[in-house]
Amino acid sequence: MYECKIAEKLVELRTSKGVTQEDVARSLSISNKTISKWENGASTPDLPMVIELAKYYGVTTDTLLGLSEDKKQSTTEEIRSLFEGLDRRESVLKAFETTRALVPAMYKTVSKYCDDTYDKEDVYPIGMSHGYRSAISFHEFFEFTASSENVNLAVMMLKNKANFAWMNDPAKQKEILKLFKFLSKEDTLSVLYYIHSSNCSESFTAEYIAKNTGVKEERVIEILDEFCSVGACHWVTAHLIEGEVRVYECHGDGLVLSLISLAFERMCGRQSYDYNYSGICKMIGGK
């Protein structure tokens, strides 16, 4: 029964990992025949090899021997457990630490599918302060992180299936430029600043925004109407005794705020990096 459990478990773990007997044998520096004998129950691994097999499959030795079952957590549960008991500041720092761990972890898994010859295990330095600015570039991956008094930002971009073809599509260009044109005016940024501040209620009128920003009400109306067409803002008509009033509602637009923050970092932030893994970030074209 003991030998049968090991044999069944070895087949189950190898199948789940998506590897062949040859892959396992190569990783453990043993022959394919040995793996085959273990999996068909003809023989069993000795104690040192049981430990190596458990490490290879990422389970406990008890699980490998069929004495207990590892209950695998969902990704959400695993991440939530990382933040248990942390205060807000510790949680922010843990978020940056988790983001930094993604790159070497991901490339350890998929590096055999990548053409790059970079040693992706060494992309991130071992020691790194919590307040820093870094950029990491590959043909198929880009990440920018900034942690400072001005911005706490982490952006990750991977090469996409469309090969960014939409960037060269006139119709798509026209739509994209609407947002950049909207953000190109100084008074627009002033209005967006106030809307995203905790001082501004989620529902407001143009008159209210004008009083708190110093921007003329007529111009505020133009800005808010345009924001409704490109951002997370909408309006309804309130019927009051003194007449109809347009009431806007916005809970904040994280995408727009992220774009502005990135623009700030590019144009006004430090131009030096605490860490810069400067591979080539040409994600368009190629195989």
Contacts 24+ apart (CB under 8 A), 258-263: 258/153, 258/155, 259/179, 259/183, 260/183, 260/189, 260/192, 261/151, 261/153, 262/144, 262/153, 262/155, 263/183
> What's the token pair of residue 221?
């109306």
If you count them, how many residues does the chain have? 287
Which has more confidence, 47 or 179?
A: 179
pLDDT of residue 189: 97
pTM for the structure as a whole? 0.60
Structure confidence at residue 1 (pLDDT): 43
Taking only the tens place, the pLDDT of each residue in 45-96 is 988 888 889 888 888 888 888 776 655 556 777 778 778 888 877 776 777 6
> Does residue 159 carry a pLDDT above 80?
yes
Q: pLDDT for 180-213, tens place per residue? A: 999 999 899 999 999 999 999 999 999 999 999 9
DSSP H helices in the chain: 2-17, 21-28, 32-40, 47-57, 61-64, 75-83, 88-110, 170-183, 186-195, 206-213, 217-230, 254-267
- The conformation of residue 143, written as its DSSP 8-state character, comes to E
Q: Which two tokens stand for residue 144?
A: 């920018």
- Summarised one tens digit per residue, pLDDT across range 91-130 is 767 776 776 676 666 555 444 434 444 444 444 444 444 5
